[in-house]
């Protein structure tokens, strides 16, 4: 497989959150999915984003489900320090 043009990665990465949330047009999703099929690095970014969102939801539903140190690091990374309960 030929190396993909990294400028395409940079232009698409700003849309990944909207993609994961299902807020993009079907046409744009197909374009992005075509890129993801060819680009392992972007697939890793999307997978990490999905896991982070999932972990955030687990934290919000049941803070005891996630170890305190992990929860604190996640919330700090997401700039949600105000929501950390000690």
Which tokens belong to 2?
A: 């030929």
How many Å apart are CA 38 and CA 6, to the nearest integer? Answer: 12
pTM: 0.61
| Mean pLDDT of the 70-75 span | 74
DSSP collapsed to 3 states, 11-53:
HHHCCHHHHHHCCCCHHHHHHHHHHHHHCHHHHHHHHHHHHHH
The domain segmentation of the chain, as residue ranges, is: 6-83
User: In the predicted model, what is the mean pLDDT of the chain?
Assistant: 78
Say if CB 74 and CB 67 are below 8 A apart: no
């Amino acid at each position: 497989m030929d190396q993909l043009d990294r400028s395409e990665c940079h232009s698409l990465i700003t849309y990944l959150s909207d993609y994961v949330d299902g807020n993009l047009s079907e046409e744009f999703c197909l374009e992005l999915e075509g890129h993801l099929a060819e680009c392992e690095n972007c697939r890793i970014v999307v997978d990490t984003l999905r896991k982070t969102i999932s972990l955030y939801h687990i934290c919000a539903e049941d803070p005891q489900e996630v170890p305190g140190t992990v929860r604190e690091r996640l919330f700090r990374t997401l700039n949600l320090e105000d929501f950390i309960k000690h």
